[in-house]
Amino acid sequence: MITPSDEQTTDAQALRRPSGQHPPLATAPPPSPIAGLEPLTRRTFRRLAWLSLRNASASPSILAAIGVTACSLAIGSAFIAGQKGAVDPIAVAAIATPIGLVAFVVLVWFFLAGEIRGWARDGGWVVGYFTADSSQLVHPDSGDWVLTDHYTAHRGGGEAGPFRRQVFAHLAAEADLHQVVIRFDTKVRRLVDIYLQDMPGLELIDTRRGRLATVYLLKRTPRPFPSP
């Protein structure tokens, strides 16, 4: 588990709060770790960043950002090279564009680190579950557990199934224990049915249609304690 004062942070110390500030009171207790799965650490954060980039094709907004960045770099570098009197502006663009894309990947890395730092700062903790090829993060928000960053290295082949069922079953049991609501969303319609099947008690509560994608909102209400 990562808390705002945890020493197991990213390489940029992205999950630490400024000195002199105390961690906030968590709005919900964190779920416990799972034996055999790795927690969120510097090493697994690097794995998470790699998995998020591998899964970029599932996000229209990320694909659009990459496309716009690549086109802007190519056109901009060729134009500037031409204005500076370069003999072959196209060759300059061919060199500058990959370098710019690498810089874009680094920016994505820092954005992800900043996002996790913000969750830890606002909610008090971020819990991660990792295997060599899959990831799942959990953080508190308004008293609920919010699930994010569920990735797998090879999408579409059922690779993440056993991992997801193990984590989902564990989180459902922990949520019942702590009487906490679980919520998350997905932009992939076929995943809705898979998630509903893999997490007991999960429900599709809303569908929001945006310009780039449709977002499916899922929620699980904890089962009440049995009456004495």
Domain definitions of the chain by residue range? 42-220
Per-residue confidence (pLDDT) for residue 110, from 0 to 100: 73
The CATH fold of domain 42-220: Aminopeptidase (3.40.630)
Rounded Cα gap, residues 68 and 123, in angstroms: 34
Tell me what percent of the residues of the chain surpass a pLDDT of 70.
64
Task: Say how many CA atoms lie within 13 Å of 225 toward its Cβ.
Answer: 7
pLDDT at 58 over 60: no
Per-residue confidence (pLDDT) for residue 81, from 0 to 100: 57
- For residue 195, CA distances in Å to 1, 25, 36, 64, 223 come to 24, 30, 22, 27, 18
pLDDT digits (tens, 9 = 90+) for 132-181: 999 999 999 999 999 999 999 887 777 889 999 999 999 999 999 999 99
pLDDT digits (tens, 9 = 90+) for 187-209: 889 999 999 999 999 999 999 99
Mean model confidence pLDDT for the chain: 79
Classify strands 127-130 and 134-141 as parallel, antiparallel or unpaired: antiparallel
